[in-house]
A and B are shown apart, each in its own frame.
Chain A
Amino acid sequence: TQLLEQSPQFLSIQEGENLTVYCNSSSVFSSLQWYRQEPGEGPVLLVTVVTGGEVKKLKRLTFQFGDARKDSSLHITAAQPGDTGLYLCAGEREGGADGLTFGKGTHLIIQP
């Protein structure tokens, strides 16, 4: 059983469309991070959310941490081909060890 469930697993949309990907768990996290990974490279951190209900914006990307700190979402407005990649959420469990737990990721393809 995956501690962090990401959905959808795969998503292919046209340039200019909006999309939302989700990261859900039954566990509470002290913080949650979103990473983007391109082929042949390691994940790169996009954002960290810490407070329940927190919303952070990074240009066309909006990240939200659930009120109960069990889930998170990433919304992309007017997607562009450069947004293509694997989006991973990762959390540090409350009261858990220091290491991050990763979801399996959402493979996103933005078609021109």
Chain B
Amino acid sequence: DAGVIQSPRHEVTEMGQEVTLRCKPISGHDYLFWYRQTMMRGLELLIYFNNNVPIDDSGMPEDRFSAKMPNASFSTLKIQPSEPRDSAVYFCASSPGTSEQDTQYFGPGTRLTVL
């Protein structure tokens, strides 16, 4: 298996522009997680899905952020409009379940820079 795939790996955009980050989870995994990592705040959970349904979006910072999972093999995280403070590395992770024995597998991340 190729693991969790994220695109793009790097994104540089200007303030006010729309940004869309993409994720393909590992086939057969029922859970998908979006995280954001910064030096100041560390790794923060933004939202997670179970069987394509959003379960907990309490970590989404503002209405400018939205996430969708139209099918089991694809998810997007959209920021509209983007702001410089959104600059961070965004990770997608997938897991077969959420028991202690279920590992979360992380993608390589998308490094977002908003100028």
Contacts and interface: CB of A to CB of B under 8 A. Distances in A.
B103 A45 contact: yes
B25 interface: no
A98 B109 contact: no
Interface residues of A, number: 23
B91 A42 contact: yes
Contacts of A84: none
B56 interface: yes
Given A30-B100, A43-B106, A103 B42 contact: yes
A2 B38 CA distance: 14
Nearest to B50: A98
Main secondary structure of the interface of A (DSSP, over half): loop
Interface residues of B, number: 26
B100 A31 contact: yes
Contact of A42 (B45, B48, B93, B100): B93
Contacts, number: 58
B55 A50 contact: no
Interface string A77-112: 000000000001010100001111111110000000
Nearest to A99: B45
A98 B31 contact: yes
Interface in B51-106: 55-56, 58-59, 91, 93, 98, 100-101, 103-104, 106
B42 A102 contact: yes
B44 interface: yes
A86 to B, nearest CB: 10
Contacts of B33: 99-100
A2 B100 contact: no
Interface of B: 4, 31, 33, 35, 41-45, 48, 50, 55-56, 58-59, 91, 93, 98, 100-101, 103-104, 106-109
